[in-house]
Structure 1
Amino acid sequence: MGYEDLPILQYLRIAVDILLVWYVIYKLIMVARGTKAVQLLKGITVIIVVRMLSHYFGLSTLQWLMDQAITWGFLAIIIIFQPELRRALEQLGRGRFFSRSGQPGEDDPEIIVESIVKATDYMAKRRIGALMSIEKETGMSDYIETGIALNSRISSELLINLFIPNTPLHDGAVIIQKNQVAAAACYLPLSESPFISKELGTRHRAALGISEVTDSLTIIVSEETGSVSAARNSELHRNLNQDELREILQKELHSATKTVSSNRWHWRGKKDG
């Protein structure tokens, strides 16, 4: 019996089956998109490509190694992607897995830059400690979940009020995601580097810690000195003035808006004095 003998209902069943599978895969990608799993998926893709090339060129030892990685990969995926799988199951239980994800409104990057610079300058002059982390390509959803969700438009007034001492949300980090203040009072991992100056406190260690595991840009205002610092790629640049901070933010936010992932980040801050 050929395909022409299949009833129309059979064709519809096959089509619905394929569409449902693709939709589930799409939703899983959406769940993983805001996490570190994206980088791990890139690594898995590299392993698969290397396996195909080793087979094509007859590299038996490399092919055996890739076969072992793929054979045990299923168990490794369950262990590595445990937070993402948990999040997907939670969304499924809340009925949000199949709901349409709303996209936040896009603000002008210049407005966002000026809001952050204005808030930072205000807090620096008054020695109000602050920690603001801006998400880039590597998702920060795991850290957003440790804080209080806000999903608010960025403004200097909002940022200042979040860090006013003795307020409920002043302790912890503010995470900016998709041009919104996603959450406040978030916990960031502390750096274990032995090369960090002893004069730096928890905020600076947290800024360096998150820069070691993500590609985020983190702004720090020191409560003791009022100095402004920025951390990215495990590097801390201190004693930044308004113009230097504005230049950094403009480069970062404009590159994120244009989604140029290969754009390298070049800037120079003042050396420790």
Structure 2
Amino acid sequence: MTTAFITLGLFDILDILLVAFLLYQVYMLIKGTVAINIFVGLSLFYLMWLFVRALNMQLLSSILGQFIGVGVIALIIVFQPEIRRFLLLLGTRYNVSQRFNLHNWFALDERGIPDIEIRSVVGACEYMSKTKTGALIVIAKNMDLQSYADTGQILKARVSKNLLETIFFKNSPLHDGAVVWANSRLLAARCILPVSDDTNIPGSLGLRHRAAIGMTQATDSHVITVSEETGNISYVMGGNIKVRISPSELRTFLEGDFSSFII
């Protein structure tokens, strides 16, 4: 009578599928970044440890095991930005803050963005596009952007076309940096945003676009950019960028994403 070398039950198959799914999500998060090289290196290191254990090489296995023992802490340190993005992805996808109505001053209320503000921002972007005035506008959604607002000049001013054009005018002391738009207010100007290290970003996109992509990777905010070189308007969300969009397309995006996104 022979027995199978490996027996697989329903929960074993489910376990394998869940691990495969998690590994795929990790790969998608770090694909195109320098973290993928670190991930491959750590994976090879772990496979080598398994290999020397299988060969019963006690000394080398013990040495490598010491590194494996602190591997979780090392992974948290090395992949801190990616872990943050992964948790943000889970929270955003399942609308945790929306379901429990956890809103604060820096997040949009249940009314979304009023149409008059959308028209003001679109009008300002259209003007800055024609005059090739660089602009970077962050639109808060559910996450608290206080830490980013604190890097700039707090305004708490009502949204208007003229104010945006004045802020980003090249001789204005507030033009260098981003504006944070939250809860019907221009919360702050001249804010510093995290810059994405994604190696797949085209070289034609400059630091302003990299900052926009980095901001949407670190938070659930959406970002509008106007290129100073070409005047092109771009819309960024979830680390994905739509380039060379028209003012009417920008308005459609804003109305679709912010007019009534609260459940």
TM-score of the superposition, structure 1-length normalised?
0.55
Structure 1 stretches of 4+ with a deviation exceeding 6 A read 101-108
Percent same amino acid at aligned positions? 39
Q: 1:134, CA displacement in angstroms?
A: 0.3
DSSP 3-state at the match of 1:223: coil
Out of 112, 115, 119, the residue aligned to residue 114 of structure 1 is 119
Q: Offset of 1:255 from its aligned partner?
A: 2.5
Distance 1:107 1:122 in 2: 24
* Residue in structure 1 matched with residue 210 of structure 2 by the alignment: 205
Question: C-alpha distance in 2, partners of 1:173/1:240?
Answer: 20
Aligned to 1:85: none
Q: How far 1:102 sits from its partner (Å)? A: 8.3
Q: Which amino acid aligns with 2:125?
A: T
Counting only pairs closer than 5 Å after superposition, residues 62-101 of structure 1 correspond to structure 2 as: none
| Counterpart residue identity of residue 191, structure 1 | S
Q: 2: CA distance between counterparts of 1:127 and 1:194?
A: 27
Quick one: structure 1 residues 216 and 241, their matched pair in 2 at CA, closer, same or farther if it must change by over 3 Å? same
Encode CA deviations 1:100-122: one digit per residue, 9 max, x unaligned: x9899989610011001000000
C-alpha separation in 2, matches of 1:167 and 1:116: 18
Matching of residue 226 in structure 1 with residue 248 in structure 2: no
Q: Is residue 2:190 matched to residue 1:185?
A: yes
8 Å CA contact 2:195–2:212 kept in 1: the answer is yes
Letter of the 1:206 counterpart: A
Matched, 1:133 2:155: no
Decide whether the 8 Å contact of 1:169 with 1:184 is kept in 2: yes
1:179 Cα deviation (Å)? Answer: 1.4
Q: Is the 8 A contact 1:188 1:207 kept in 2?
A: yes
1:21-59 CA deviation, whole Å, 9 max, x = no partner?
xxxxxxxxxxxxxxxxxxxxxxxxxxxxxxxxxxxxxxx
Q: How many Å apart are 1:252 and its aligned residue? A: 2.0
What is the rounded CA distance, in whole Å, between the counterparts of 2:223 and 2:246 in structure 1? 15
- Greater relative contact order: 1 or 2 (C-alpha under 8 angstroms, separation 6 or more)? 2
The alignment status of 1:145 with 2:153, answered yes or no, reads no
User: Aligned residue pairs: how many?
Assistant: 160
- Could you say which residue in structure 2 is the equivalent of 1:248? 253
| Distance in 1 separating the partners of 2:159 and 2:149 | 16
Structure 2 CA distance for partners of 1:102 and 1:177, relative to 1, 3 Å: closer
Match of 2:171 in 1: 166
Shift of residue 170, structure 1, vs aligned partner: 0.4
- Give unpaired runs (5+ residues) of structure 1: 1-100, 261-273
